[in-house]
Chains A and B, each alone.
Chain A
Amino acid sequence: MGPFILRRLFFLIFVLFGVSVLIFGILMSFSPERRAAAYITTPQQAKDLPRLVQKYGLDDPFYIQYGRWVGEVASGNLGWSLVAAQPVWTAFWMYFPVTLELNLYAAPLIIWFGIWLGTRSAIHRDDWFDHLSRVFAIVGWSLPTFLFALVLLMVFYGYFRIFPPGIIGDETALYIMNHPEAFTRYTGMVTVDGILNGNWRVALDGLRHLVLPVTTQVIVVMALLMRVMRSGMIEELSKDYVITARAKGADDRTVHLRHARKNALIPVVTVAGQLVAFSMEGSIAVEVVFNRQGMGWWLAESATQLDMPVLMGMCLFMGLVFVITNLVIDILYAAIDPRIRLV
């Protein structure tokens, strides 16, 4: 397995090179003035556009601009994010923990519920439970995330006032600011840092702010996983080895959970891996409605404002995430199915 992992990580260099050339090439299709416009916010500033083009060499040939960017990245400088008003690297460590924290809670729930619901649906195929869970999946999948998030916010914050938007309450935030010696930000994730500092007030406040975004994320994303699990289980349950197992006197629990479910998990692992990878980009709707500025918000704002250093940095990050995710998926394949060998 060692050489396999090393080889895959080696290929990462080529993946990142390919992705960065592609994205850089796409961004070059915007005119130099359009790219310089990222530096201005008002019509008053527009008079300086030609000077900005000249200053940053935005009209230089592609290979020169790309080479300049690679040189900067190689020296550890990912550039300045105009959207975040700070260096890309610093901004990344501000926004990524927000997205990661949401996924830390949402991803296990999505995977557990998705597998459980899919398995039960397949076992009770065409039963009322199956119909119900399929309706649930269709509703969850087709429900606009933005609308669903808004409804939850209106009910639980607007009316009941129990789950406010944001990442942390004002009083807690001021408490942290006023007691820097008593609270260390280890990870940037409020609940995790609260636990690591032994400060339950902070951890619980962070958790309170996570309830609605996690609920939204779970209900919306789980549907796909549940559908894949269900169809995989149905297919496995119709195979000969299941009949053989039953003929040998295996009970339902053994047949369903030890034999069929294990084999049905292969496509589920693929989908779950992709979902987790995609979720690292953040969910724009969830982040905007619940006012948790994370990777989704940052990427969306950077794309609309053509904040090139962020877009390039993000493509490197997502390339890295997908390569590692696929690597983990391959390893899981081998763990689930002994016939698969990693060479």
Chain B
Amino acid sequence: MIRLSKQLHRSIFVFLPLCLTIALLPSPAQTAPKNPDTFIMASYGTVRTLDPCVAYDTLSGQRVLNLYEPLVFFDGEATDEFIPLLATKVPTMENGGISKDGKTYTFEIRKGVTFHEGGELTAEDVAYSFKRNMIADPDGGPMWMMLEALTGEGSTRDENGKIRSGIFEKIDQAVAVQGNQVILHLPKPYPPLMGILAYASSVVLQKNWAIVNGCWDGNIANAENYNNPAPGHEPLQKIANGTGAYQLKAWEPSKQFVFERFDGYWGGTPALDTAIFKYVKEWSTRKLMLQNGDADRVVVDTPYIPEVKAMKDLTFYEVPQLAMTAACFCRKINPAGNPNIGSGKLDGEGIPPDFFSDMHVRKAFLHAFDRETYRDDVFGGLVILPSSPNIQGLPYHKEAPIYPFDLKKAEEHMKQAFDGRVWDQGFKMVITYNTGNAMREAAAFMLAENIMSLNPKFRIEVRNVDWKDYLVKYRNFMYPIFIIGWGADYADPHNFMYTFMHSQGVYGRYMGYKNKEVDRLCDAGIDTVDPIKREEIYFRLQDLWYLDAVAIGLYQQIDFRAYRDYVKGYQPNPMFNSEWEYLKRLTKE
């Protein structure tokens, strides 16, 4: 017993301090690849589906685009230039692939391409895939993009969930097969179409395999039966049979996803035999896996970048993303039982629902946001400060004017707001951000403190709200300012400018923002093919973003990646965030 007690004594007074000391010691470096034929990545996102018509999150899209292939894909770092994959060439007006009126696209389908489970690719497979995915069109899915381009409708169903009359016939007529060609007939020119065709929802399925596994039977008269499958009930949720360089080996949801090289790949044999994507939620665990060489890459969130940069034997990449986060002013706040606007009046104890309809209030908030400090303190400089939603990397981007940090000007505007009543009475309101987002939290506090420094009668409280609650409440006009981001569906300014500025845009609508000129320009932007005219339109919209003080553009994130230095072949592209990995390009040397 005495011997045991002594051991106990040691375990408490020696073991724990020893552990702590060792934990702080630098670990021996790992230099040689542990698994030379296997790529291992650790991240914390969960894959929801492998069905291309449902995959709308980055992680599911990543899996789909490695298992299946689209007709075209992004050319290297470009977001508006493409290379052919299952098509033999990228159609252009010059090569006759796109008609002069911009409404007909012709794709010659590559020969000699085989599917993982056997069978050769045909033009019929391509046409079936496009039609099947549009017919399925699940709620919350990505098919609105292709539907908008090919049918002019953003959904197969109306706002009440009823099938739109004639929509399936439109889908059927939009995609035609002629010999080895697939021809797309658009109702009107749609400039971002090629970007949509490079998306995960545009990959090609094998028709017979898909039908056998429960997808649309190929008869347009039966299309309604295959429309809007419930989550998890999409037929291809957990199976795959594509033409991609890798095939599905195993998927244990929220644990790991294993790819295996497809030896029959038409584009040459990929270098790596296997790729394992592991779900590792805890950052410290991911970091140790990277350090020990048990992971070749891990997802690194912004706060952890400095400690990863201090690690050895890693290669770093910094990739600007086609994504923007903004603090949006709501001009018609919902006053019903809304704790975020206090009394709901301009009496010093709240704000009126139309508080942000006053241009001076918005300009005061814009001048009160210290962009440079935000960039340097919160992101360590690793971020782009956007001047408008037409962010860097999008076509027709320009550096629009901004409202520089200037508390004097902010004060001047506040004194003019509501004919001086804001300054005299003061106000009280709440700024919210979604829980756990440190970047948005910092922006909210910085803005609140700077505004409160103008006048002791100005009181702003900062609160965090669960992300899903946040989504619901900003759509109910509950937040005076909502901080929210948008990632590109396709690399075209329409995807951003319409979202943030159009009165029916996803955010424009909930800001209560309406400017007839803006609406007209947003609509014209997507209907115009001529690049010079489009440039004029989007330059003007960027100016209007400034002139109307629409919202505060907070940040355009720069994605940070850390690979073990023996991993080569990564090709940055702003369309893809840190969860993305294109396996066929990777090697371990």
Interface residues of A (CB under 8 A from B): 31, 33-34, 37-52, 54-55, 80, 82-87, 91, 94, 120, 128-129, 132-133, 135-136, 139, 150-155, 157-161, 164-167, 170-171, 173-174, 177, 288-291, 293, 297-298, 301, 304-306
Question: A135 to chain B: which residues have CB within 8 Å?
Answer: 12
Residue of B nearest to A80 (CB): B232
Question: Looking at the complex, which of B16-24, B108-116, B452-460 is the stretch in contact with chain A?
Answer: B16-24
**C-alpha spacing A47/B232, complex, angstroms:** 20
The answer to whether B487 and A42 touch across the interface, beta carbons within 8 angstroms, is: yes
What does the 1/0 interface line of B24-42 toward A look like (CB < 8 Å)? 0101000000010010100
Question: B27 to chain A: which residues have CB within 8 Å?
Answer: 158-159, 161
Contacts A44-B506, A157-B288, A305-B468 given; indicate if A291 touches B282 (C-beta within 8 A). Answer: yes
**C-alpha spacing A75/B47, complex, angstroms:** 28
The answer to whether A85 and B506 touch across the interface, beta carbons within 8 angstroms, is: no
**C-alpha spacing A80/B258, complex, angstroms:** 23
Contact of A151 among B20, B489, B507 (CB under 8 A): B20
Q: Does B263 contact A (CB under 8 A)?
A: no
Question: Looking at the complex, which of B184-192, B272-280, B556-564 is the stretch in contact with chain A?
Answer: B272-280
The answer to whether A158 and B471 touch across the interface, beta carbons within 8 angstroms, is: no
The answer to whether B20 and A177 touch across the interface, beta carbons within 8 angstroms, is: no
A175 to chain B, nearest CB (A): 12
The answer to whether B140 and A48 touch across the interface, beta carbons within 8 angstroms, is: yes
Contacts A43-B485, A136-B8 given; indicate if A159 touches B23 (C-beta within 8 A). Answer: yes
The answer to whether A37 and B471 touch across the interface, beta carbons within 8 angstroms, is: yes
What are 22 of the A-B contact pairs (CB < 8 Å)?
A37-B469, A38-B468, A39-B140, A40-B468, A41-B48, A41-B56, A45-B140, A46-B506, A49-B472, A52-B139, A55-B230, A86-B253, A94-B253, A136-B12, A152-B19, A154-B23, A158-B27, A158-B292, A159-B25, A166-B278, A293-B255, A293-B279
The answer to whether A82 and B258 touch across the interface, beta carbons within 8 angstroms, is: no
Residue of B nearest to A98 (CB): B255
Question: B141 to chain A: which residues have CB within 8 Å?
Answer: 45
**C-alpha spacing A54/B159, complex, angstroms:** 10
Among residues 174 to 232 in chain B, which have CB atoms less than 8 Å away from a CB atom of chain A?
228, 230-232
The answer to whether A177 and B472 touch across the interface, beta carbons within 8 angstroms, is: no
Contact of A39 among B22, B139, B279 (CB under 8 A): B139
B162 to chain A, nearest CB (A): 10
The answer to whether A86 and B472 touch across the interface, beta carbons within 8 angstroms, is: no
**C-alpha spacing A139/B289, complex, angstroms:** 29
A-B pairs, 4 with minimum CB distance: A154-B23, A45-B140, A80-B232, A37-B468
Contacts A39-B139, A49-B475, A94-B252 given; indicate if A165 touches B285 (C-beta within 8 A). Answer: yes
Contact of B161 among A31, A43, A55, A84 (CB under 8 A): A55
The answer to whether A87 and B232 touch across the interface, beta carbons within 8 angstroms, is: yes
The answer to whether A288 and B140 touch across the interface, beta carbons within 8 angstroms, is: no
**C-alpha spacing A82/B231, complex, angstroms:** 8
The answer to whether A44 and B489 touch across the interface, beta carbons within 8 angstroms, is: yes
A254 to chain B, nearest CB (A): 17
The answer to whether B285 and A85 touch across the interface, beta carbons within 8 angstroms, is: no
**C-alpha spacing A49/B12, complex, angstroms:** 54
Q: Does B57 contact A (CB under 8 A)?
A: yes
Residue picked from A80, A161, A167, A289, most chain B C-beta under 10 Å: A161
**C-alpha spacing A128/B13, complex, angstroms:** 14
Question: B255 to chain A: which residues have CB within 8 Å?
Answer: 94, 167, 293
The answer to whether A173 and B47 touch across the interface, beta carbons within 8 angstroms, is: no
The answer to whether A151 and B19 touch across the interface, beta carbons within 8 angstroms, is: yes
B547 to chain A, nearest CB (A): 25
Residue of B nearest to A166 (CB): B278
Residue picked from B9, B238, B507, most chain A C-beta under 10 Å: B9
The answer to whether B250 and A177 touch across the interface, beta carbons within 8 angstroms, is: yes
Among residues 238 to 269 in chain B, which have CB atoms less than 8 Å away from a CB atom of chain A?
238, 249-250, 252-256, 258
Question: B472 to chain A: which residues have CB within 8 Å?
Answer: 31, 33-34, 37, 49
The answer to whether A45 and B46 touch across the interface, beta carbons within 8 angstroms, is: no
Question: A51 to chain B: which residues have CB within 8 Å?
Answer: 139, 157, 159, 161
Question: A167 to chain B: which residues have CB within 8 Å?
Answer: 255
The answer to whether A289 and B282 touch across the interface, beta carbons within 8 angstroms, is: yes
Q: Does B388 contact A (CB under 8 A)?
A: no
The answer to whether B289 and A165 touch across the interface, beta carbons within 8 angstroms, is: yes
Q: Does B579 contact A (CB under 8 A)?
A: no
Residue of B nearest to A140 (CB): B12
Residue of A nearest to B258 (CB): A177
Contact of B22 among A159, A164, A166, A291 (CB under 8 A): A159
**C-alpha spacing A139/B139, complex, angstroms:** 51
Q: Does B567 contact A (CB under 8 A)?
A: no
**C-alpha spacing A120/B140, complex, angstroms:** 61
Question: A94 to chain B: which residues have CB within 8 Å?
Answer: 252-253, 255
The answer to whether A40 and B8 touch across the interface, beta carbons within 8 angstroms, is: no
Residue of B nearest to A128 (CB): B5
Residue of A nearest to B288 (CB): A158
A171 to chain B, nearest CB (A): 8
Contact of B284 among A82, A128, A139, A150 (CB under 8 A): A150
Residue of B nearest to A46 (CB): B471
Q: Does B101 contact A (CB under 8 A)?
A: no
Question: B19 to chain A: which residues have CB within 8 Å?
Answer: 151-152, 154-155
Contacts A85-B48, A151-B20 given; indicate if A48 touches B139 (C-beta within 8 A). Answer: yes
**C-alpha spacing A160/B25, complex, angstroms:** 11
Residue of A nearest to B141 (CB): A45
Residue of B nearest to A136 (CB): B12
Question: A129 to chain B: which residues have CB within 8 Å?
Answer: 1, 5, 8
B149 to chain A, nearest CB (A): 16
The answer to whether B280 and A291 touch across the interface, beta carbons within 8 angstroms, is: yes
The answer to whether B23 and A85 touch across the interface, beta carbons within 8 angstroms, is: no
Question: A306 to chain B: which residues have CB within 8 Å?
Answer: 468
Question: A132 to chain B: which residues have CB within 8 Å?
Answer: 5, 8-9, 12
Question: B469 to chain A: which residues have CB within 8 Å?
Answer: 34, 37
Contact of A85 among B49, B56, B228, B284 (CB under 8 A): B49
Residue of A nearest to B273 (CB): A174
Contacts A54-B160, A174-B274, A288-B282 given; indicate if A40 touches B471 (C-beta within 8 A). Answer: yes
Question: B48 to chain A: which residues have CB within 8 Å?
Answer: 41, 82, 85
B558 to chain A, nearest CB (A): 20
Contact of B254 among A46, A84, A164 (CB under 8 A): A84
**C-alpha spacing A175/B8, complex, angstroms:** 40
Q: Does B568 contact A (CB under 8 A)?
A: no
Contacts A49-B472, A49-B475 given; indicate if A155 touches B23 (C-beta within 8 A). Answer: yes
Q: Does B582 contact A (CB under 8 A)?
A: no
**C-alpha spacing A136/B469, complex, angstroms:** 43
Question: B581 to chain A: which residues have CB within 8 Å?
Answer: none
**C-alpha spacing A75/B212, complex, angstroms:** 27
Contact of B288 among A44, A82, A84, A153 (CB under 8 A): A153
Q: Does B405 contact A (CB under 8 A)?
A: no
The answer to whether B159 and A50 touch across the interface, beta carbons within 8 angstroms, is: yes
**C-alpha spacing A38/B278, complex, angstroms:** 23
What does the 1/0 interface line of B479-517 toward A look like (CB < 8 Å)? 000001111010000000000000000110000000000
Question: B507 to chain A: which residues have CB within 8 Å?
Answer: 43
Residue picked from B48, B140, B486, B507, most chain A C-beta under 10 Å: B140
Question: A43 to chain B: which residues have CB within 8 Å?
Answer: 471, 484-486, 506-507
